[in-house]
Amino acid sequence: MRQVVGLTSTYSSDEFGVCSALYELGGMVVMHDASGCNSTYTTHDEPRWYDQDSMIFISAISEMEAIMGDDDKFIEDLVQTANELKPRFIALVGAPIPYMMGTDFDAIAQIVEERTGIPSFGFMTNGMQYYPNGISMAMERIVDFYCTEKKETQQNTVNILGATPLDFSINGSVESIQEWLKSNGYTVNCTLAMNCSLEDIQNMSKASINLVVSTGGLKAAKLLESRFGIPYVVGVPYGKKFASKLLEKLKLKKTSLGWDRKQVKKEKHLALIGEAVTSISLACAMEEENDVSVIVLDPLNENNELYRTLDVYVPEEDDVMEQIKSVDGIIADPLYKALCSNKEFYPYAHVAFSGRIFEKDLPNLINTEMKRK
């Protein structure tokens, strides 16, 4: 049945996607919700919480404020805290109850900005969408606001778009992507949004090309293309051979997917469950170096512009169970194992699904040989 997850976990939500994308940028990010969201995000979806400063808070809205539509306390609290902590910007993040109240986040952001002089943004998340929507919303908005001026293009300079711990953990994968680019003659300009500052974002227009490493980075890439004519390539350099192919695509300086859409089913046929860009890249890397075909089952959003011929959108647990009937094995987060009892199962942890549980076991597969026996 739709919407039922009987046996396994659920993915992180859009509000946490916004928080993750903005974490390192020096802003104050406030989820407009009662309580619980903040500890959920910081416990399960934010591996940087213990060691790295950030201003992620919750408004602690109460029943009466919700029923009466009382935004005044929220505004006063935002202004007071912003005046004390002096963030670079203020981001207001929606949750289920403000969605039902019809809270006008843009209007509140405007009032707060007028009173504090600090750039403020409203994000109409509602906790009922998945995290890539939140990452996408946040990255597009922050680029739209801060990257307005065309700087002189520097050849062989790349922005990486869509990097958050929800898809890449903090296991060194993002640093490895940067190293891979550098070792191939590129200068990394801005990595949105890990090891990144607002100044980096202001200078994004210097890049000659963008590399989109998750669906969360796609909208920002499209914005940079339409505003400054910077093309983008979609893909993550997993494996040796697929990384080489991705490099060739980058060299063409044209907007493209990092993979071919046509897929051929092989005798050994596997399914990989996960976010579209990272999963298709990993599937391609496995196919390049092994005699297998790997279809991607995308439970998050319908990304038809990214899918290869055999990849499928699987919004429900039942869809996943149906699709895996016809494959020989499954590569997925370990918490999916409960659905795959009669199949070969290859665990591959995903922070956005199992949180911190398996993060210490998550391999860094960037530009790494993928040949398996």
Partner 1 sequence: MLRRVRDEILEGVEKKISEVHFPAPFYAGLEYSSPARGTWNIVHTGMLIPESHQIFVCAYGCLRGVVLTAAEMNALDRYSSISIREENVLDGSMEELMVEGVSDVLEKLPYKPKAILLFISCQHFFLAYDQHLVFDQLRARFPDIRFTDCYMIPTLRKSGLTPDQKMRIQMYSFLEKKETNLKKINFIGSNLPLWKESELYTWLSSSFEVWDLYRCQTFEDYLDMAKARLNIYYEPLAQKAAQDLEQRLSIPSQYLTFSFNEEELDNNYKELSQSLDVACPDFEKEKMEARRAFQELKRVIGNTSIAIDYTFTFRPTSLARRLLEEGFNVTTLYVDVFVGDDEKDFEWIQTNYPNIKIRPTNQPGMRFIHEENEKILAIGQKAAYFEATDHFVNVAESGGYFGYRGMVEICRLMQEAYLNKKDRKNIIQKKGYGCESCIV
Site string for partner 1, 99-138 (x = CB under 8 A): xxx------------------------xxxxx--------
Q: Which stretch binds partner 1 (CB under 8 A): 7-15, 176-184, 185-193, 248-256?
A: 7-15
Contact between 3 and partner 1 (CB under 8 A)? yes
By C-alpha distance, which of 165, 163, 166, 167 is closest to 178? 163
Contact between 68 and partner 1 (CB under 8 A)? no
Contact between 39 and partner 1 (CB under 8 A)? yes
Q: Which residues pair with 365 in a beta bridge?
A: none
| Whole-number Å distance between alpha carbons of 19 and 328 | 37
| Whole-number Å distance between alpha carbons of 47 and 165 | 7
Q: Which residues pair with 123 in a beta bridge?
A: 93
Contact between 77 and partner 1 (CB under 8 A)? yes
Helical spans, DSSP H, in 147-217 = 165-168, 173-183, 198-202
Instruction: Tell me whether the omega of the peptide bond preceding residue 34 falls within 30 degrees of 0, making it cis.
Output: no
Q: Which stretch binds partner 1 (CB under 8 A): 11-19, 151-159, 164-172, 262-270?
A: 11-19
Contact between 252 and partner 1 (CB under 8 A)? no
| Whole-number Å distance between alpha carbons of 364 and 367 | 9
Q: Which stretch binds partner 1 (CB under 8 A): 61-69, 159-167, 219-227, 287-295?
A: 61-69
| Whole-number Å distance between alpha carbons of 261 and 282 | 14
Distance of closest approach, residue 209 Cβ to partner 1, in angstroms? 32
For partner 1, the closer of residues 133 and 205 by Cβ is 133
Q: Of the candidates 338, 344, 363, 371, which one interacts with partner 1 according to CB under 8 A? A: 338
For partner 1, the closer of residues 124 and 312 by Cβ is 124
Those residues whose C-beta lies under 8 Å from the C-beta of residue 146, and which sit 6 or more positions away, are: 198, 201, 202
Backbone φ, ψ for residue 246 (5° rounding): -65, -40
Q: Of the candidates 20, 27, 33, 213, which one interacts with partner 1 according to CB under 8 A? A: 33
| Whole-number Å distance between alpha carbons of 140 and 162 | 10
Instruction: Give the binding site for partner 1 (CB under 8 A).
Output: 1, 3-16, 30, 33-45, 49-55, 57-64, 66, 76-78, 80-81, 84-85, 95-97, 99-101, 126-130, 335, 338, 354-357, 360
